[in-house]
Amino acid sequence: MTMLDEIDFQHLQLDQHGPLAVLTVNRPGALNALNADTLSELSQATEAVIENPEIGALIITGGGDRAFVAGADISELAQLGDVYAGRELALAGQDVMQTIANLPIPVIAAVNGFALGGGLELALACDVRVASPRAKLGLPEVTLGLIPGFGGTQRLARLIGPGRALDLMLTARQVGAEEALALGLVNYVADDPLQKAREVAEQMVKNAPIALSLVKEAVRRGMDTSLEAGLEVEADLFGMLVATQDFREGTSAFLAKRRAEFKGE
C-alpha cells in the first residue's frame, strides 16, 4: 500500500493525518483553476484514497489564501475547437466528480475562498461543505457563453432545489458564505474551514465505516429514484448492515454502556 503523501503530484498535495486524508488543489497563481492535468491528478488522488484502507474520510481544499477552486481553466476552455472536444471535456470532468461523490468514505469540502464554476462543482461532489466567511460561491458559466459541465446543473438543483439553482445559474451571481448557508449550499461557516472540516471528519470517522458508506449509497441511489424504490434500497442496505460485526459491536457497546470499537467488518 502506497502512503498517500509519497505520491508526487504537480498541482495537488495529498496528506495523510491518521484516518484523515487532506487533498489540496494547489495552483494558487491561477486561483487553483482545474486544467486537464489537475483534473487527471484529482482522479489519480481519488484512486489512491480508495485503495488505502486506513483512510476513513477525505477533506478537499484549495492552496493559497484566496481560492478553493476558481473553476475549470478558462485558458484551456478557450482552446476547445468543436462540439466533440467540448463534450469530451464535460464527460471527463463529470467522471472525476462522480468518482469523488461515489467514494465509500465521507468527503468534506473546506471552501477557503472562491468556489466558482468547476470549483463549486467539485464542492458539490463532496458530502458536506464548510465555508470560510470570505468564500464566494457561484456558477458563472453563462458569462462565458457556457453552462456548468462538471455536474453543476444536476447537483446544485438536487441540493438546493431547481428554483434557487436556476437563480444562481441564470444570474451568474456569487453568493457569500452566510447566504450559501441560508440556501443550504454549505453546511457550516467557520473562520478556519480546514480546522472545522477536520473536526467534522473526526466526528464522522468514530462511526461504523460500512454504515457510513451505505448511508451515502442509500441517499445517492434514493435521490435518483421514486420514494418507493428508495425505501426498498434503504431496507436492503439496512438488512446488509445487520449482518456486520460492527452492528454487533455497536449494539453490544450501547447495552454495556461502553464506547464501540468499530473494525469496518
Residues that bind ligand A1D88 (CB under 6 A): 30-31, 33, 70-75, 93, 114, 116-118, 140-141, 144, 148-150
Nearest approach, Cβ of residue 38 and ligand A1D88 (Å): 11
Compare residues 57 and 116 and give the one whose CB is closer to ligand A1D88. 116
Residue nearest to ligand A1D88 (CB): 117
Cα–Cα distance for residue pair 256/156, rounded to 1 Å:
43
Q: Are 152 and 159 in contact (CB under 8 A)?
A: no
Strand order in the sheet with 175-176: 67-69, 114-116, 136-138, 175-176
Reported as half-sphere exposure (CB side, CA atoms, 13 A), residue 263 has a value of 5
Nearest approach, Cβ of residue 149 and ligand A1D88 (Å): 3
Cα–Cα distance for residue pair 19/17, rounded to 1 Å:
6
Which residue among 121, 199, 217, 228 is the active-site one? 121
Here the cell at position 219 is: 441517499
Amino acid at 121: E
Question: What is the total residue count of the chain?
Answer: 265
Which residue among 41, 141, 179, 249 is the active-site one? 141
SS3 of 127-171: CEEEECCCCEEECCHHHHCCCCCCCHHHHHHHHHCHHHHHHHHHH
Q: What is the DSSP letter of 72?
A: B
Compare residues 150 and 262 and give the one whose CB is closer to ligand A1D88. 150
SS3 label, residue 186: coil
Cα–Cα distance for residue pair 47/102, rounded to 1 Å:
11
Compare residues 30 and 128 and give the one whose CB is closer to ligand A1D88. 30
Q: What is the DSSP letter of 60?
A: E
Compare residues 21 and 137 and give the one whose CB is closer to ligand A1D88. 137
Nearest approach, Cβ of residue 13 and ligand A1D88 (Å): 19
Q: Are 48 and 2 in contact (CB under 8 A)?
A: yes
Nearest approach, Cβ of residue 61 and ligand A1D88 (Å): 16
Compare residues 109 and 116 and give the one whose CB is closer to ligand A1D88. 116
Nearest approach, Cβ of residue 159 and ligand A1D88 (Å): 17
Nearest approach, Cβ of residue 64 and ligand A1D88 (Å): 10
Compare residues 25 and 57 and give the one whose CB is closer to ligand A1D88. 25
Here the cell at position 90 is: 464535460
Whether 121 is a known active-site residue: answer yes
Cα–Cα distance for residue pair 81/88, rounded to 1 Å:
11
Active site members: 121, 141
